[in-house]
Chain A
């Protein structure tokens, strides 16, 4: 079992014919994901690398029964692509695109209230992967293996490292979920953790957070109320100076808010083990 993805997930790739969309659609297929179509306005009726292309998401849904999407369209158009996916009734949308204006995302968040079944991951995220089932996005599958650890993370490469180290240590993963590095995003830690909590195959949880915002603190609060998951948290950016954006739009300490210290303390207070280095994530999980 796993969360979010299953054998019935039928995926569209919005921006299929771009360099990234094209490459990663093939990677998704290589893992067994059902990629049923691509959406590129103006290219409807054609095929790209054997995948049928549609002008709109609505067309693609009508023809293929798609229920999920991976978005690779450039930042100026990506917010609209999310709206289109939700309006067409898709229930899982992973937006990989980085650099979407924050005000665009604020409008997207407001729009999505009318579509409570639409779950959004990202933007600026690597998507999600369930070993042995499939993936939407860009997480490199060769480091994953099936098993009991659920991973939820704001950062991409740190996630790949962690899953690689876990695989090497003989601990597989149930589902790996990237929620993205932007300040205004779709699902947050709390949403994803609640799903892992309901998944019988997931027994362990790795939370990879970073400076900025208070999503980690809220996740700690929820876990502190009781969980069956053996959880370990790691926070990146302990030494980041105040007021500087560290690569991710959301990774910024403002005044005394959003610090790694505050997040680590929240997890410790909730009884969640805190890893101080990425190596320790694996150590603590294998011991838990």
Chain B
């Protein structure tokens, strides 16, 4: 789960990291009340993507009336395809210094990497490109976590030695997000150091591993629902489908992630655009296919469906019967092209033909056919 800023900050606060005073507001009235309570605040759109400031999703306000107006404008606005569900009203900090602190999974090293930089408040990717030496790095042992001296080294290496005691304490707390919440990425940017030396999280990003959701049911229950901004993806998740919404008009079903991605690519090559990615897994059972077709046809943009299935262990004739059954149960009216290969492919194709479903022999042919039929 990619948590929203206020959620990430709640988690960080739970780990003992100081955060600015703030209130979640779901309505303009709540924003007004928050400002009345906290004084001047920043009204910040809560979306799981960066660049909200540039998109007009942050307003600094002095009065409750201004807070209400800002929230009226920001709640519901669209930021990079995300509809803002709520705002976070937060008091401004007295900033002496801004630094960067974060960790992520370094895929090449197959390890977690902790990063600290004196260049805070800037895009870290840009810092990494322009002045890689400005980022101090540590690969903590994943069994025991970082040791005190390693963190001290990290802090001095980043040129922030004068704040060593406060910073090492914060880094240790942030690292707890890995063992405690299966976090994959955390970022505090900026991490603010105040005039009197307090260290406070100015912004926060946190992404946890969905494969580990079974260990963190409480977190999923508390934060999961509001993150589901795409209704079709949410519905697919309820039906245990691996589904990603895309912006085209051809519904796609495939078995296996690689095969399914390959199918999207072929549709694009044929001049069409996929409406979704939907991997129904190796088995391609009838019930799963029906669920997938059902979700795909909930999307009003979909003009046709392409199914690409390779029968490995599952036999093609079984898959074909399941497809026909699913189509009939759903009374599907949209154009449908099925590319079936693998075990018992001939028998499977015969069954499809008998039932008026166009069987493509190669995936490329099938992609061209569905693009033509939906033009």
- In the complex, which residues of chain B have a beta carbon less than 8 angstroms from the beta carbon of A279? 362-364
Q: Please determine whether B107 and A247 come into contact, CB atoms closer than 8 angstroms.
A: no
Q: A14 to B194, alpha carbons, bound, how many Å?
A: 55
Give the contact-size bracket for chain B: 35 or more
Given contacts A140-B312, A183-B107, A239-B268, contact A103 B342 (CB under 8 A): no
Q: Please determine whether A155 and B259 come into contact, CB atoms closer than 8 angstroms.
A: yes
* Interface membership of A115, Cβ < 8 A: no
Within 8 A of B (CB), among A188-232: 208, 210-214, 218
Q: Please determine whether A100 and B142 come into contact, CB atoms closer than 8 angstroms.
A: no
Q: What are the interface flags for A149-166 relative to B under an 8 Å C-beta threshold, 1 for contact and 0 otherwise?
A: 000011111111100100
Q: Please determine whether B257 and A181 come into contact, CB atoms closer than 8 angstroms.
A: yes
Q: Please determine whether A246 and B257 come into contact, CB atoms closer than 8 angstroms.
A: yes
Closest residue to A211 on the B side, CB-wise?
A: B261
- In the complex, which residues of chain A have a beta carbon less than 8 angstroms from the beta carbon of B256? 155-158, 247
Given A106-B105, A247-B244: 11 more A-B contacts, CB < 8 Å: A101-B211, A101-B215, A102-B182, A102-B184, A111-B143, A142-B343, A158-B256, A247-B277, A248-B257, A251-B261, A279-B363
Q: Please determine whether A184 and B264 come into contact, CB atoms closer than 8 angstroms.
A: no
Given contacts A106-B111, A160-B342, A247-B279, contact A99 B211 (CB under 8 A): yes
Closest residue to A243 on the B side, CB-wise?
A: B49
Most chain B CB within a 10 A radius of its CB, from A75, A155, A236, A245: A236
Q: Please determine whether A246 and B143 come into contact, CB atoms closer than 8 angstroms.
A: no
* Interface membership of B275, Cβ < 8 A: no
Q: Please determine whether B142 and A106 come into contact, CB atoms closer than 8 angstroms.
A: yes
Min C-beta distance of B263 to chain A, whole Å: 9
Q: Please determine whether B212 and A101 come into contact, CB atoms closer than 8 angstroms.
A: yes
Q: Please determine whether B257 and A155 come into contact, CB atoms closer than 8 angstroms.
A: yes
Q: Which residues of A contact B (CB under 8 A)?
A: 23, 27, 75-76, 99-107, 109-111, 138-140, 142-143, 153-161, 164, 181, 183-185, 208, 210-214, 218, 236-241, 243-251, 255, 260, 276-279
- In the complex, which residues of chain B have a beta carbon less than 8 angstroms from the beta carbon of A236? 258-259, 261-262, 265
* Interface membership of B149, Cβ < 8 A: no
Q: Please determine whether B258 and A241 come into contact, CB atoms closer than 8 angstroms.
A: no
Interface CB pairs A-B, < 8 A, 12: A75-B211, A103-B212, A157-B310, A213-B108, A218-B108, A236-B261, A237-B262, A240-B261, A247-B258, A250-B107, A277-B363, A278-B363
Closest residue to B244 on the A side, CB-wise?
A: A244
Closest residue to A240 on the B side, CB-wise?
A: B261
Q: A75 to B215, alpha carbons, bound, how many Å?
A: 12
**Consensus secondary structure, chain B interface:** mixed
Q: Please determine whether A247 and B342 come into contact, CB atoms closer than 8 angstroms.
A: no
Min C-beta distance of B279 to chain A, whole Å: 4
Q: A62 to B100, alpha carbons, bound, how many Å?
A: 52
Q: A249 to B141, alpha carbons, bound, how many Å?
A: 23
Within 8 A of A (CB), among B240-291: 242, 244, 246, 254-262, 264-269, 274, 277, 279, 282
Min C-beta distance of B362 to chain A, whole Å: 6
Q: Please determine whether B107 and A184 come into contact, CB atoms closer than 8 angstroms.
A: yes
Q: A279 to B215, alpha carbons, bound, how many Å?
A: 42
Given contacts A155-B256, A247-B257, A277-B364, contact A161 B341 (CB under 8 A): yes
- In the complex, which residues of chain B have a beta carbon less than 8 angstroms from the beta carbon of A156? 256, 258, 282
Q: Please determine whether A164 and B107 come into contact, CB atoms closer than 8 angstroms.
A: no
Q: A243 to B312, alpha carbons, bound, how many Å?
A: 30
The residue that B265 contacts in the complex, of A185, A237, A241, with Cβ under 8 A, is: A237
Q: Please determine whether A160 and B211 come into contact, CB atoms closer than 8 angstroms.
A: no
List 10 A-B pairs, minimum CB-CB distance, nearest first: A155-B258, A247-B257, A157-B256, A101-B212, A158-B258, A237-B261, A140-B312, A247-B279, A157-B259, A236-B261
The residue that B257 contacts in the complex, of A218, A239, A251, with Cβ under 8 A, is: A251
Closest residue to A109 on the B side, CB-wise?
A: B110
Q: A260 to B140, alpha carbons, bound, how many Å?
A: 31
Q: A184 to B262, alpha carbons, bound, how many Å?
A: 22
* Interface membership of B148, Cβ < 8 A: no
Q: Please determine whether A184 and B259 come into contact, CB atoms closer than 8 angstroms.
A: no
Min C-beta distance of A219 to chain B, whole Å: 13
- In the complex, which residues of chain A have a beta carbon less than 8 angstroms from the beta carbon of B112? 103, 106
Min C-beta distance of B249 to chain A, whole Å: 14
- In the complex, which residues of chain B have a beta carbon less than 8 angstroms from the beta carbon of A154? 258
Q: Please determine whether B209 and A102 come into contact, CB atoms closer than 8 angstroms.
A: yes
Q: Please determine whether B257 and A100 come into contact, CB atoms closer than 8 angstroms.
A: no
The residue that A161 contacts in the complex, of B178, B310, B313, with Cβ under 8 A, is: B310
Min C-beta distance of A248 to chain B, whole Å: 4
- In the complex, which residues of chain B have a beta carbon less than 8 angstroms from the beta carbon of A250? 107
- In the complex, which residues of chain B have a beta carbon less than 8 angstroms from the beta carbon of A181? 257-258
Q: A99 to B267, alpha carbons, bound, how many Å?
A: 28
